[in-house]
Structure 1
């Protein structure tokens, strides 16, 4: 037996001191790994590959599926909100004054609507619904002013009263609708981004024209196509 004395640890058994050292070491390692994890960046490709292998091995695991990708690209058009009718009316009136092809076009307010009246005699041949070349030029000028607004626009076709009651009115309704459709189609063809509603009114609005206007002039005014602009936004 050696005469060397064992060190005194305050009356506690020496064999328990290693627990304190181990606890300190474990705390330091835990803090190190937490810090290391917080500074790391997840590699998504490797994670998906690992998850895919895990999924094949265990059907009960959640499978990561790729997001569906469309084979068709749908173009979008940003259309601004509706403009105040007073401001829009000023723009259109200025455009009409600048373009000789729009000399017969009239802009006027009707309740909460802005109406752009296009004389049918300048757009179509008599009793026809095909636009003339000069009519297409006029519509192109107008479209450049309204294509960038979001207001709802309807197209209303009008005709003059029938020459005699025996003539019938079916052709008037058909002609007014076909002319409204022709104007709407031309506006879309030259770049107007919406589908305006079309309406054939025949001579149903003739009685609202001022009776003080000479009869011949009233007949001319009744043959028209109106662009009816609303205060609200239209649908694409």
Structure 2
């Protein structure tokens, strides 16, 4: 009689032990997955983008990076005095020193001003430079690309045609870009250039030029 009672009790104990073991295993698995989720969630979304350079980087950040790169490039270039640049341009035959002729240069108030006469710079009602003037601008651009001096373009307003003046200033800036100049170029138009069609103004930062 004792043997017959002991057998069902052993079977019942084995079944209970199996249920307890399964429950423990389930609890361990749930805890494991919860732990994995808790560890991975801070690395999702914005975190991945900022670390890996993904789409989470905004256009503002990209523009800032490009601006910083340009600043580093400019800071590594020398800023020459305008008197030295004037001597370089004169020695290379790009622009004679003085204030007369179809093309001339002169240092005024810490700035080097290169003057282009109307007939030399543009044909009548033309938006782009004449070939000879364009060649001079290209040669100037190649030299100015190697220094940090800022430059400006000032175009005269012919016969109150302001649109033509703006187009000419843009075309001169484009000619500088095409020859390799990559830094900012200020552009201005004015009705009073005393007979000049175009001024290319090079500033001396160390000399206080604007």
Tell me the TM-score normalised to structure 2 length: 0.59
Identify the residue that residue 212 of structure 1 maps to in structure 2. none
Q: Which residue of 1 aligns with 2:193?
A: 205
Deviation at 1:148, TM superposition (A): 1.1
Match of 1:83 in 2: 80
CA, structure 1 residues 62+183, in 2 after alignment: closer, same or farther (shift >3 Å)? same
Cα distance, 1:127 vs structure 2: 2.2
1:189–1:61 Cα change, 3 Å: closer
Unmatched 5+ stretches in structure 2: 1-31
Q: Provide the aligned C-alpha RMSD in A.
A: 3.5
Residue 96 of structure 1 is aligned with which of 93, 98, 103?
A: 93
Pairs within 5 Å for 1:21-32: none
Match of 1:191 in 2: 180
Aligned position for 1:209: none
1:132 paired residue among 130, 138, 160? 130
Q: Is the 8 A contact 1:113 1:229 kept in 2?
A: yes
Q: How does 1:1-236 map to 2 (within 5 A)?
A: 56-57=35-36, 59=38, 63=42, 67-69=51-53, 76=69, 78-79=73-74, 80-96=77-93, 104-159=102-157, 162=159, 169=160, 171=161, 173-202=162-191, 204-206=192-194, 222-232=195-205
Gaps of 5+ in 1: 1-52, 163-168, 207-221
Q: Which string of whole-angstrom CA distances, capped at 9 and with x for unpartnered residues, describes residues 115-156 of structure 1?
A: 111223122211221223333222211112211111111100
Give the whole-Å Cα distance in 1 for the aligned partners of 2:132 and 2:197: 15
Shift of 1:95: 2.3
C-alpha distance in structure 2 between counterparts of 1:151 and 1:54, whole Å: 62
- Which structure has the greater CA radius of gyration? 1
Higher helix share: 2
Change in CA separation of 1:158 and 1:117 when aligned onto 2, cut-off 3 Å: same
Q: Deviations over 1:16-64 (max 9, x none)?
A: xxxxxxxxxxxxxxxxxxxxxxxxxxxxxxxxxxxxx999437279956
- The answer on whether the counterparts of 2:94 and 2:136 sit within 8 Å (CA) in structure 1 is no
Verify the 8 A CA contact 2:105 2:114 in the aligned structure 1.
Answer: yes
Instruction: Provide the rounded CA distance (Å) in 2 between the counterparts of 1:131 and 1:205.
Output: 17
Taking a change above 3 Å as real, the CA distance of residues 154 and 195 of structure 1, as seen in their structure-2 partners, is same
